[in-house]
Structure 1
Amino acid sequence: MAEQRKVIHVTEYDYQSPAECSQQICILQPQESNQMTVGLLRKGQKLLRHALKIRPNPSTVQTSQDAFGNVVHHFEMNYPHDHLEVVSELEVEVIPMLHTGSLDELESPVWHGIVDALRYKAGQEVSTDFQFRFESKHVPILDSLRDYGRLDFWPNRAVVPAAYALMQRIFKEFTYKSGSTTIQTTVEEVMQKRQGVCQDFAHVMLGVLRSLGLSARYVSGYMLTEPPPGQPKLLGADASHAWVSLWCGPELGWVDFDPTNNQLPDSRYVTVALGRDYADVPPIRGVVHGGGQHSLKVGVTVF
């Protein structure tokens, strides 16, 4: 049964002195394309409403679509301002995946067959899924990552059980530690220290899958978290989340895996954007002229 989710994402900047002007890009609105339709092992999602509130009022606002189908808002503040607040409010209907049984009951193709199908062949049309095979800004292709993946991806193993086992191993062998990394932390450093946050876990899993020759993409969004028993839900206590989507052949399509929480994303998850890694889909980024030092506050609430 479909469930409705509401998300309020608040980002606030306070500048030490007035910024003369700024230009910002937001990726906060979920797609409305068929990339979010329900699958055997992938939840579906329908956007019901989205509102973007910017204070103070921007000089200009433009909306476009990037190469991955994500909705991108561009806005400018062409006057002095010492505070910026961006509030994204959205409502979606989340549809559970179609398969409700055990993964052992599901037939999935062997992983090296998918690798062979993704290889370029002269005279053959290149699939749009092909682009997620290659390394990207934050996800390198390395022999060490390939070797790490071969512990789960042995010859003739089905792709879904292999990816599920990899997800479980990352969850068990890596420690989630808030603030332990930054966006500049490399996959090699995360592999060495065996700790990080959700975007690090996603980058590691992407690096392993791509190093094996598979096509996998970065997914950004939110996850509903429940408060401790007897405690009220705190507004702004949730956070943005990241996980992985793996191409598992034409019959299964894209299948999502969350190595941070060791599960296939279900109706508690809200998908916002898809890309090669975090650099393609940050919630907000921009350029500010002046302003000096600034403080940043981010609050996310998922209902």
Structure 2
Amino acid sequence: MIYEIKLNIGYEYLSAVNDARHVLRVRPRAMAGQRLLSVVLAIEPRPDETFSELDFFGNALDHVLIQQPHQTLDVSMTARVSVARGAPDLSATPSVGDLIEVSLASQVSNSSGPMHYLGDSRVVRTSPSLTAYAAEAVDLSAPAGEAALALARRIQADFDYAPGATKVDTPLEDAFAQREGVCQDFAHVMIAALRGVGVPAAYVSGYLRTTPPPGKPRLEGADAMHAWVSVWLGAKLGWRGFDPTNGVEALNDHIVVAVGRDYSDVAPIDGVLMTAGPQTTTHSVDVKPID
């Protein structure tokens, strides 16, 4: 499947910004099962300096310096991406118990190694309540892939998708207690739950197919950047995606932008600026199949 993706992020500041440094993570990744065919990134006002690099996790970063006074910032990205991921046989994955043992013994230290996704991170903290939630849903004797999908479906069933119920900095425990939120909250809940029982889990940000196939329901979270979870299923199968917002595997409807330990590693835009007063933000995404 080939997609055309359009992203627009806008900021309006009450007082002029005199100096701003931003890091953007909005370009789709080039990776197994996903080819980046073209990408155009536009920033207004025009930056005084830019440079691009890959971070430790393999995410594409665009560093931006704007030194001219401005009261608005507009970021737009247009890309074409080819996605072709085969559905893995989840029943053939190692049992959860075996996967936990292999994960703890792994000495792979690069970004694909499970060791980076087992412990607490800046946003995700394991807790007795989240670990107990996972223990109820995850059978240690079950194939790990099937167990991960079952947990994603349980989160979809137990939590209400409610834009506005949480903010980007709402603590994970609060979202878990109130059983509502958005894709970021559900991804963090699933990650904390899996790590609590010893299963490596990573946070994924990206884009989601806007128009569903005939007869299929529209997926939640398609009008903004989406979030889901990547679970390590052993050295043979590697990392596979699961979407707890929609209770599905993350296959050809999901376009990966960035992967990290939690949202703080993959935020689409962050940085430092000097201004006074509040700011307003707009964010829109359109993902259109073109074949």
Q: Distance in 1 between matches of 2:163 and 2:87?
A: 34
Q: Kindly provide the amino acid, as one letter, of the partner of residue 268 in structure 1.
A: D
Identity of aligned residues (%): 36
Q: Which residue of 2 aligns with 1:224?
A: 209
Q: Which residue of 1 aligns with 2:4?
A: 6
Deviation at 1:126, TM superposition (A): 4.8
Q: Distance in 1 between matches of 2:134 and 2:213?
A: 36
- Choose which of 6, 25, 38 in structure 2 pairs with 1:27: 25
Secondary structure in 1 matching 2:25 = strand
Aligned 8 A contact 1:177 1:197 in 2 = yes
Across the aligned residues of Structure 1 and Structure 2, the Cα RMSD in angstroms comes to 2.1
Q: Which residue of 2 aligns with 1:48?
A: 37
Q: Which residue of 2 aligns with 1:134?
A: 119
Secondary structure in 1 matching 2:115 = helix
Q: Distance in 1 between matches of 2:210 and 2:55?
A: 30
Q: Which residue of 2 aligns with 1:233?
A: none
Offset from partner CA, 1:71-108 (integer Å, 9 cap, x none): 11111111211221111111100003154x7x5xx311
Deviation at 1:170, TM superposition (A): 0.5
Q: Which residue of 1 aligns with 2:74?
A: 85
Deviation at 1:150, TM superposition (A): 1.2
Q: Which residue of 2 aligns with 1:243?
A: 228
Q: Which residue of 2 aligns with 1:63?
A: 52
Aligned 8 A contact 1:224 1:238 in 2 = no
Q: Distance in 1 between matches of 2:212 and 2:255?
A: 18
Q: Higher Cα Rg: structure 1 or 2?
A: 1
Secondary structure in 1 matching 2:26 = strand
Q: Distance in 2 between matches of 1:169 and 1:259?
A: 8
Offset from partner CA, 1:97-148 (integer Å, 9 cap, x none): 154x7x5xx3111111111112248xx5656221111111111112222211
Secondary structure in 2 matching 1:96 = coil
- Choose which of 115, 119, 141 in structure 2 pairs with 1:156: 141
Q: Kindly provide the amino acid, as one letter, of the partner of residue 39 in structure 2.
A: H
Q: Distance in 2 between matches of 1:238 and 1:184?
A: 20
- Taking structure 1 as the reference length, what is the TM-score of the superposition? 0.87
Deviation at 1:228, TM superposition (A): 12
Aligned 8 A contact 1:20 1:291 in 2 = no
Equivalent pairs counted in the alignment come to 280
Secondary structure in 2 matching 1:5 = strand
The 1:59–1:167 alpha-carbon spacing in structure 2 relative to 1, beyond 3 Å, is same
Q: Distance in 2 between matches of 1:172 and 1:272?
A: 26
Alignment of 1:164-179 (within 5 A): 164-179=149-164
Aligned 8 A contact 1:50 1:88 in 2 = yes
Deviation at 1:291, TM superposition (A): 5.2
Q: Distance in 2 between matches of 1:225 and 1:70?
A: 23
Secondary structure in 1 matching 2:185 = helix
Aligned 8 A contact 2:87 2:251 in 1 = no
Q: Distance in 1 between matches of 2:71 and 2:87?
A: 49
Q: Which residue of 1 aligns with 2:83?
A: 94
Q: Distance in 2 between matches of 1:302 and 1:186?
A: 30
Q: Distance in 1 between matches of 2:200 and 2:228?
A: 14
Q: Kindly provide the amino acid, as one letter, of the partner of residue 73 in structure 1.
A: D
Secondary structure in 2 matching 1:286 = strand
Q: Distance in 1 between matches of 2:7 and 2:42?
A: 10
Q: Distance in 2 between matches of 1:199 and 1:95?
A: 25
Q: Which residue of 1 aligns with 2:104?
A: 119
- Taking structure 2 as the reference length, what is the TM-score of the superposition? 0.90
The 1:29–1:212 alpha-carbon spacing in structure 2 relative to 1, beyond 3 Å, is same
The 1:299–1:154 alpha-carbon spacing in structure 2 relative to 1, beyond 3 Å, is closer
Q: Which residue of 2 aligns with 1:147?
A: 132
Q: Distance in 2 between matches of 1:76 and 1:272?
A: 22
The 1:98–1:155 alpha-carbon spacing in structure 2 relative to 1, beyond 3 Å, is closer
